[in-house]
Chain A
């Protein structure tokens, strides 16, 4: 695992001072000169997600930001120009629930409650999982710790491939919790009560009871761990709750009624059964990737093919998550999700849920120049991803 800081600073004994500074300046210079350039990209069609699509359209990029978007921009002399021909330009995709880059275990399964565990501490920024996401058009990724315990820790938001010296978009963002049976797995009540091998919870009710008691304690006492929970109750830190079965989804909604919090549901394989309740609560849902074993998800959930379409129609803000986002959007459209809703579900909708609407998710002046170029119609299954641009630099390109 490589640390977030530049790796070279760790090897002080290997690099003499003049060498180091020389190398560092070289490293600093290359990206900056690349970013300072004016770049114009012309495409046959641009889905800005900030109004109707432009066909054709031009995007003006400077210093890693979008400067202007329009059907026909004057192209400044001396600037770089890329013409995609009949190609299509989209905002970079946002995977709002991922475990990409988390190395060496996803949660601290020896304790039930670990709210200060940071996903960021275990993310390898050069992991192949993040690079692949970038190749798939994902530019921003929300990395959640796993569901092996009840309150598992803090998530982080990063660009999938970027300059190492850049700070993550959000170092410690939301709190990951679950109302699933995952933390129960392997726990049993058969041991002697005083055994150190005894672990709670041992059933679904136990999971929710632990959540309730932790939030209850947080209102009365303060420890560093509970400070995190207090932030949740104050509404300053969002909660990402993994719930798949209809009962678990309802349990999460009940918890939210008892302890007001900015709740985001994750998973939602059976959400179609309780869609009215979720819609009434106004809670967004990060839909887990549909497995190739149609109809059966984790925990033997009974899901349906048109889950995204049904939830969208019920008025629930949905995001598609878990990799292969464009592919997922295409299948969602086949089964009934409207095309514009499918594009929103992998761009602007996750940006809203992650409170990054002013940074990413649309092609709009002032936002990061995170763009995906396609060879044609995004919903045609023979359309390929040509390249992925993050902060004005093409980070992945079709061979």
Chain B
């Protein structure tokens, strides 16, 4: 017991400092930089949380702590491009809440983050809401830290727009609600720019009988004054004409309309895909398609849209022809690759537990819990090795707009590094060490939980 609290204290003190002050050198391992060809027995030098150098026969700085990775594999930390875990409570009830921020709900002590470090996932985008219309502001976080400020990389990066009907809506109602809110936000934006162009001190009840505030406010986009007229905005419940959150909704959606944020558009059925593409075009959104397995039928539309794609955990499925009874195996990574669509993966099911369409369907196999396994499945069905590796590192970084600082082992990038016992896409490989911003956040030989799960009497 005393020993245990000592360990906790040690962890606390080691984590409370700033990220990666140390100089680290990882030597001897096979380096998979993702951005370039593999380097046999290379060296990665890390200083102040950043990668200083990657290469063969590099001089190791005298002040460096050396991590011997001989016989091991060194690669960039994995990136989960879209996750709805890691929150202490998810909002899946209030449908139109684009102004909520996931940073207020992220719980650093969640098992999810521990599991991420164990898997070598160093960065994750936490995107709230899937049973909502506008789910709330997403954030990119490191997967280690005592408190959120240590974890947070970038807040308010985007939000989820779900095309799956929520509550008692049907698809028409869902899309109408999305459009109503986006239209209202766009109208407010154009009105504001019109009034600000016309004169710095607009008179009340000038155009369209719409009151505008005393001068443009810095932050609030002078939305508060527009509440006099009944407006849509989360005003979902019958009989409720005004919503106190309407101004907040419009302000939040304005960022989406300006293209400052990513719109993660969830498509449940193939028919949702063209709808999503229409929304992206009409509202000039920076769209990312989050696709349920059934959406493979719309693969041509996905390919034509050129939008980035996130695939749900189930990558291999069976479909039976209702007339012939013939079983057909659908392999999503292969199908999208054949259509020329680059994909990224998530290990977080977007379907709430037990909400599967086919009753009695079995839980997915264990592998879908692991990001590397998704890439291995792509490899199994014909994706080239480099491409498979890229789909869990550099590509998600590109989708999230953080490829300048993460996703590969290159000088100047953040030192998110994973040391593995072998080939990252093999079943008998284990993550030995996970490093985030130059700091060791996971070591397998100290992982008490995995020991207990492998040997029940280990304690």
Contacts and interface: CB of A to CB of B under 8 A. Distances in A.
B323 interface: no
Interface in B345-383: 360, 362-369, 373, 376-377, 379-381
B452 interface: yes
A310 B455 contact: yes
B80 to A, nearest CB: 16
A336 B362 contact: no
A327 B367 contact: yes
B453 A295 contact: yes
A135 B320 contact: no
B369 A381 contact: no
B367 A382 contact: no
B454 A128 contact: no
Contact of A381 (B320, B325, B427, B456): B427
Interface in A282-301: 289-295
Contact of A291 (B363, B367, B456): B363
Contact of B327 (A135, A336, A384): A135
Given A292-B368, A304-B456, A381-B373, A135 B380 contact: no
A132 interface: yes
B363 A132 contact: no
B333 to A, nearest CB: 12
B426 interface: yes
Interface in A319-349: 322-324, 327-328, 330-331, 333-336
Contacts of B369: 292, 294
Categorize the interface residue count of chain B. Answer: 20 to 34
Contacts of A289: 362-363
B428 interface: yes
A336 B454 contact: yes
Contacts of B426: 380-381
Q: Decide if the interface of chain A is mainly helix, strand, loop or mixed.
A: loop
Contacts of B329: 135, 398-399
Interface in A342-399: 379-384, 396, 398-399
Contacts of B455: 306, 310
A290 B373 contact: no
Contacts of A399: 328-329
B453 A128 contact: no
A27 interface: no
Nearest to A375: B380
B6 interface: no
A110 B452 CA distance: 42
Q: Which one of A128, A131, A289, A331 has the greatest number of beta carbons of chain B within 10 Å?
A: A128
A20 interface: no
Contacts of A328: 365-366
A76 interface: no
B428 A382 contact: no
A272 interface: yes
A330 B320 contact: no
A328 B363 CA distance: 13
B327 A131 contact: yes
A306 B454 contact: yes
A331 B365 CA distance: 10
Contacts of A162: none
Nearest to A379: B427
A324 B314 CA distance: 14
A47 B367 CA distance: 25
A97 to B, nearest CB: 13
A281 interface: no
A244 B349 CA distance: 26
B427 A380 contact: yes
Contacts of A309: 454
A305 B453 contact: yes
A382 B381 CA distance: 8
Contacts of B325: 126, 128, 131
Contacts of B427: 330-331, 333-334, 379-381
Interface string A142-183: 000000000000000000000000000000000000000000
Contacts of B367: 327, 331, 381
Interface in B434-459: 450, 452-456
B456 A273 contact: yes
A323 B364 CA distance: 10
B365 A292 contact: yes
A272 B453 CA distance: 11
Contact of A294 (B318, B366, B452): B366
Contacts of A380: 426-427
A131 B320 contact: yes
Given A306-B454, A306-B455, A384-B380, A128 B318 contact: yes
Contact of B452 (A304, A333, A398): A304
Contacts of A290: 366
Contacts of B362: 289, 322-323
Nearest to B347: A292
Contact of A132 (B318, B376, B380, B428): B318
Contacts of A381: 367, 373, 376-377, 380, 425-427
Nearest to A383: B380
18 contacts: A128-B318, A131-B325, A135-B329, A272-B456, A289-B362, A291-B366, A292-B369, A294-B453, A305-B450, A305-B453, A322-B362, A323-B362, A324-B365, A333-B427, A382-B379, A382-B380, A396-B327, A399-B329
Given A128-B318, A380-B427, 10 more contacts: A99-B360, A304-B456, A327-B365, A327-B367, A334-B428, A379-B428, A381-B376, A381-B425, A382-B376, A382-B379
